[in-house]
Homo-oligomer: A and B are copies of this chain.
């Protein structure tokens, strides 16, 4: 009870901690709520998912482990694009679980971010909701008020470590809200990234700061997030499913953190081979697992992590030697920078880590995307 009380006190403190100011317009007109699915969903890999907000095709449910199925229910990477001239832009959505983790802010885990397209074509962050759900697991937030009333292009990113069952966009009742008028991210360019909890978004502070979403904004393309916490284990059925994404321009594989040395040794070759043979012309980028920061001081992991990467690399080299083309390799060097400061727990990236990871991958991906 005391704990709950303190939580409420803190929430109130933080909400009101900036100087309280009465805005000119005290009485607001009611908002109108429009189904997010009326607009454009971005960064989605498959159209045959169980719900619009889940990530893997429905047919896979019986083929994969329950944990993997659970993780694909997280809406990581998905975003809604729309255009409106509203002076207010908000969101209301229902969470699948309303879960919590100890090393990731709820804003990243189950919040949503609003971005706006600037006049010079950059996506710029506006605001985030604090995901305080009611007893129906509903979160609601007006991201911004007092906008200029001109038509702007917007993007809302969905939760990274929770799912969404329903989402509405909130705007002024008399405002226009429409499908986006600008093709950004470009519909014609798509990167598909497969990996672990790190790739899924653990532990960015908010949804716009996961690497896949940064890359999506920076390269003006769609980036499908197929990161599955604890479950990036190079299952053959996932390779086959990824090959079904017909408009994929580049595949990125980043599974090492979830695989043992033995798995890196025995699964890598066949996973890449399956994908390569089904999609002969699409570049594949293999990314090594990062050296966990704590491993630098732990003699066991200091030798074990390079062994996993070595097993992964050996298979890359074997694939190349066997004549498989168009496969690229990114080493772990500097993947989260060189100061050991890019993680929250020695493993999972913070916004700093994700920024550095994106900055390492972008120069590799950009030329492949424009081929």
Partner-B contacts on A (CB < 8 A): 3, 6-7, 10-11, 13-14, 16-21, 23-24, 67, 97-107, 111, 116, 124-128, 130-132, 143-148, 161, 196-197, 202-203, 205-206, 208-209, 229-230, 257-261, 263, 292-294, 296-301, 304, 308, 339-341, 343-347, 350-352, 355
Is the Cβ of B14 less than 8 Å from the Cβ of A346? no
Is the Cβ of A104 less than 8 Å from the Cβ of B105? yes
Is the Cβ of A346 less than 8 Å from the Cβ of B146? no
Cα–Cα, bound, A67→B339 (Å): 37
Given contacts A105-B104, A130-B345, A300-B24, contact A3 B98 (CB under 8 A): yes
A227 to chain B minimum Cβ distance, whole angstroms, is: 11
Is the Cβ of B304 less than 8 Å from the Cβ of A21? yes
Of all chain B residues, the one with the shortest Cβ separation from A98 is B3
Cα–Cα, bound, A104→B13 (Å): 14
Of all chain B residues, the one with the shortest Cβ separation from A198 is B17
Cα–Cα, bound, A38→B52 (Å): 57
Given contacts A104-B105, A294-B127, A352-B352, contact A308 B146 (CB under 8 A): no
Is the Cβ of A97 less than 8 Å from the Cβ of B3? yes
Residues of B within 8 A of A292 (CB): 18
10 contacts between A and B (CB under 8 A): A3-B99, A13-B197, A13-B230, A17-B197, A17-B229, A18-B292, A102-B130, A146-B300, A146-B301, A205-B344
Is the Cβ of A125 less than 8 Å from the Cβ of B340? yes
A260 to chain B minimum Cβ distance, whole angstroms, is: 4
Is the Cβ of B102 less than 8 Å from the Cβ of A146? no
Cα–Cα, bound, A103→B283 (Å): 38
Is the Cβ of A260 less than 8 Å from the Cβ of B21? yes
Cα–Cα, bound, A111→B209 (Å): 22
Residues of B within 8 A of A18 (CB): 257-258, 292, 347
Residues of B within 8 A of A355 (CB): 341, 352
Is the Cβ of A126 less than 8 Å from the Cβ of B299? no
A203 to chain B minimum Cβ distance, whole angstroms, is: 6
Is the Cβ of A126 less than 8 Å from the Cβ of B3? no
